[in-house]
Structure 1
Amino acid sequence: MPLINDGNVVDDGHIIKASSHPAVAVHGHSKSNSSVLHRSLHSDPLRVVSAKGNYLHLSNGQKIFDATGGAAVACIGHGDERLRRAVSEQMESISYCHSLFYATSATEELANVLIESTVGEMAKVFVVSSGSEAMEAALKLARQYHVEKAPKESQRSHFIARQQSYHGTTLGALAVGGHVARRALYEPMLSDTNSRVSPCFAYRGKKASTEPDATYVERLEAELDSEFQRVGPQNVAAFIAEPVVGAALGCVPSVSGYFKAIRRVCDKYGALLIFDEIMSGCGRVGPEPTERYPKPLHAWQDPLVGVVPDIMTMGKGLGGGYMPVAAVLANHRVIDTLSRGTGSFSHGQTYQGHPVACRAALEVQRIIRDDDLMTNVRKQGGLLGGLLKEKVAIHWAVGDIRGKGFFWGIEFVADKDTKAPYDPSDTVAMGIHELAMQEPYNISLYPGTGTSDGRLGDHVLLAPAYNVTEEDIRYIVDTTASVIEQFFRPHIDRGALRVKYAPLALGSMA
């Protein structure tokens, strides 16, 4: 059975010989000396001793350029003194109180900022500690909405998502997602009140590169409609999707008109639309301003998406990694229904609305706003995409470059014409990541597998901090291009490559 060694990359359990490189952890030949249950039981990850700006300083003396923000988390970089002061001030005031009995200014102010960022489209905010928790809460909220809407709606407990999707690691979130490798070990424990349809993945989903977007959208809309009919439209609680697919597919945006079609199907059958913006949200894709959204922050505010969700989840860039924090936002339709019913959300967690986490998230959002970082994301994001297509897309093993803003994916193929993926035994994505982590490159590239069909396919993604400069962008692209060129050098034996670049125990990846 395939195993997951970093939360996103399939490791088939092979034993890899020892490497002389000090940055390489060796599976199956060494023993962990740590009391922490790390990603690998066979070796300890390298320790980060400090971090500042775009750089992580490791215990072995390396200085790594963090071109992925960990897992698209560190959106304002590392070690910002404003965050240290904000968190310290909050701890001097109040560090914890039970949300059943009390409220805090930090939580109230964060909620106000988030509601304002939606231009009032959303009505209430529920703050938790992780993206998986946010998705669990979103599923419960959708279910409760239907139960309280009308007695005849109480049978709605089925959720439809998309193949090769990922919405969290907790059992409820894992069940709705379609990430084959992550689900494999836990399939017997997962709910069967979930199903999946095809993703909007133009590179692999269109019948031909010349197929019009409208025709492609019609096929996907018909497929979703058929799935509603198959499970019984009266049973469906919600459809769930990432506006821009993150780790599972490698930064895949939808084609024009797709989400409007999805919205039509959901409205036709009375189901809710849930947007998972844990990875792609909080400004990561740099939406273009419009008259309706002059200061857009959320991926759904991009004109390409063009619809407002009923429920949305946020994470990663919400707190920028300075504290564990995520959130669920619900629109007026959902909240008004609960207000007319029980008047409460039947869900709660010990650390919901944690004051220190909320204060950190509030400061991150203020920095994004006050430093006008969205303008930089749009400007430098255009440069990033352009340079990737100019300098990386030309490589014979690169099948596709896609993304938006500071969220770009590179998919690797064994044949550009047929789009045939590499065999998992080639460990392409992880091998590229490992090579990038070593001298002379010293850069972090986020790897992913299963891009093609859930098992086959490799990609890496780039998700730099919002405050990177043009010089940083050029460095990222040039270094990435060099890593790819070196990895696929014809004279390097594939088997030897797996020996040389053994997978690290990636303790920092989510």
Structure 2
Amino acid sequence: MQRSLKAQAHASSISAVLSRDLRQQAPVITKSSGIYYYTADGRRIIDACGGSAVACVGHDNARVKTAVRKQMDTVPYCHSQFFTTAASEELAATVIDSTKGRMARLLTLSSGSEALEAALKLARQYYLELRNPQPSRKHFIARLPSYHGATLTTLGIGGHLGRRGPFEPILPTNSSRVSQCNTYRGLGDGESIEAYVSRLVQELDDEFARFPEGTVCAFVAEPVTGASTGTVPAPHGYFDGVKRVCEKHGALLILDEVMCGMGRTGTMHAWEQENVVPNIQVIGKAFGAGYVPISGVLIDREVNRVLESGTSKFSHGQSFQAHPSACAAALEVQNIIKEDGLLSNVREMGSRLATSLHTAVASHSNVGEIRGRGLFWSIEVVRDKVTKEPLPLELSAGYSIHELAMQEPYNICLYPGKGTVDGVVGDHVLIAPPYNVTPAEIDMIVERVATVLSDFFSFKQNMGVNVRQW
């Protein structure tokens, strides 16, 4: 143990890693199992967020590790331009089958950002492959304050001002954004949900009309938002209306399910609960449960038909596309979810998590809203519960709560978010435990979350800072 501590101290001063924070050395993880991380300094930390909603079958799952080892023993890698593998073919068939045939093909890549980038290219190529091509289609519409990836193109599509800021001068300019769909922040006084949905759908229709006819490729949105605004589900009818607007203008609907998909919200695909089927769908994170880097792009039958009847090619290729070992891991994750009935557990434990969070922290004066779906929940913290005024930017409350939670005696990892309101101000913490989480683990998570929130705001008061007067 002493040797490990010395190694950690040594690493903190000379680390060669280009990390997210060059001044701070993150805890060294020596082991992970189930819902826990074990650190070099002897702590056991509850992973209540699955990293970033990734570890959906827990850490150290024997079945997934065995599947990867078996693939490594046969074909660890081959180039998808020249070859295919049983792992790739079976994974694609399994995922397409999970859509009940409403999607047609799967492209597997390595990260959500590159998958969304590929989806944008697919949308553009679709219009070039039509019998009567539409080369003027070059614009995309997304929402504020959305986040769709870290590449320049995907960052340019998204509307998260905090993430875009440093790179604004070099971002593509062929996209625009409409209001987020968030009843907590956007519903007007006395406005019904139906009227709110109708207003947002009309706003999207008006945004399409701002562009010359036939120049918008697609509308891009998350069915349940992720890190940008903190697991905001859309009210009933919103995505149905969005799809109608896209069809009216001849545009495609791209649904970004990188964070909310592959079982996270209680159905394998989040769009199953929205009465809508996307033309293009992007998946990641829980797809491979963190055992491998893997993401995917699904296309519907119409996009597939146009490509097949046109060049029959997708003008895109990457070295690690359809990586055999990654596909083997993701396939086993899908098998585990199905065979162990984990979607049912997501719904059951998600209900328990929601009820327990409301009971434990909803009355706290700095808790604005508790929201989510399945095992995908967030707590938005505010300065004033009545006015919904956000906490000061300089407090960085989401990250500060996370940092406190990681310390003794709490030892729990929560996923922090900032820019929750408009991409700049606003804070939340996100909770996304594994699909096989137990009732006892849910109760333990909620108990520690409640304690962390209470202590965080109490500490600020004790330091002479009145959170209501910042």
| TM-score (norm: length of structure 1) | 0.88
Partner residue in 1 for 2:58: 77
Partner residue in 1 for 2:68: 87
Q: Which amino acid aligns with 1:47?
A: V
Aligned-pair distance for 1:190? 0.8
1:245 matched to 2:225? The reply is yes
Q: Is the 8 A contact 1:33 1:44 kept in 2?
A: no
Q: Which amino acid aligns with 1:263?
A: K
Aligned-pair distance for 1:231? 1.8
Partner residue in 1 for 2:193: 213
Task: Extract unaligned runs of 5+ from structure 2.
Answer: none
Q: Is the 8 A contact 2:218 2:253 kept in 1?
A: yes
**Aligned with 1:473 (options 428, 442, 450):** 442
Q: Quick one: distance in 1 between partners of 2:183 and 2:357?
A: 18
Within-5 A mapping of 1:13-412 = 32-208=13-189, 210-287=190-267, 297-302=268-273, 305-412=274-381
Q: Counterpart of 2:259 in 1: which secondary structure? A: coil
Q: Counterpart of 2:455 in 1: which secondary structure? A: helix
Identity %: 51
Aligned-pair distance for 1:44? 2.2
Aligned-pair distance for 1:152? 4.8
Aligned-pair distance for 1:31? 6.5
Q: Counterpart of 2:461 in 1: which secondary structure? A: coil
Partner residue in 1 for 2:461: 491
Aligned-pair distance for 1:42? 1.8
Within-5 A mapping of 1:416-495 = 416-489=385-458, 491-493=461-463
Q: Is the 8 A contact 2:393 2:426 kept in 1?
A: yes
Q: Is the 8 A contact 2:141 2:178 kept in 1?
A: yes
Q: 1:428 to 1:156 in 2, by over 3 A?
A: same
Q: Which amino acid aligns with 1:116?
A: D
Q: Is the 8 A contact 1:426 1:494 kept in 2?
A: no
Q: 1:38 to 1:373 in 2, by over 3 A?
A: same
Aligned-pair distance for 1:496? 12
Aligned-pair distance for 1:172? 1.2
Q: Which amino acid aligns with 1:314?
A: I
| TM-score (norm: length of structure 2) | 0.95
Q: Quick one: distance in 2 between partners of 1:425 and 1:70?
A: 25
Q: Counterpart of 1:244 in 2: which secondary structure? A: coil
Task: Extract unaligned runs of 5+ from structure 1.
Answer: 1-21, 288-296, 498-510
Q: Deviations over 1:20-55 (max 9, x none)?
A: xx9xx99xxx97411111112223221110000000
Aligned-pair distance for 1:491? 3.3
Q: Is the 8 A contact 2:77 2:323 kept in 1?
A: yes
Q: 1:32 to 1:189 in 2, by over 3 A?
A: farther
Q: Which amino acid aligns with 1:298?
A: H
Q: Counterpart of 1:153 in 2: which secondary structure? A: coil
Aligned-pair distance for 1:389? 1.1
The structure with the largest helix share of the pair is 2
Q: Is the 8 A contact 1:312 1:330 kept in 2?
A: yes
Q: Quick one: distance in 1 between partners of 2:275 and 2:115?
A: 23
Q: Is the 8 A contact 1:87 1:359 kept in 2?
A: yes
Q: Which amino acid aligns with 2:103?
A: M
Aligned-pair distance for 1:462? 0.2
Q: Which amino acid aligns with 2:112?
A: G
Q: Quick one: distance in 2 between partners of 1:232 and 1:331?
A: 26
Aligned-pair distance for 1:494? 6.9
Partner residue in 2 for 1:19: none
| 355-364 or 147-156, which deviates more | 147-156
Q: Deviations over 1:1-26 (max 9, x none)?
A: xxxxxxxxxxxxxxxxxxxxx9xx99
Q: Which amino acid aligns with 2:382?
A: V
Q: Quick one: distance in 1 between partners of 2:242 and 2:457?
A: 40
Q: Quick one: distance in 1 between partners of 2:464 and 2:370?
A: 24
Q: Is the 8 A contact 2:37 2:47 kept in 1?
A: yes
Q: Counterpart of 1:348 in 2: which secondary structure? A: coil
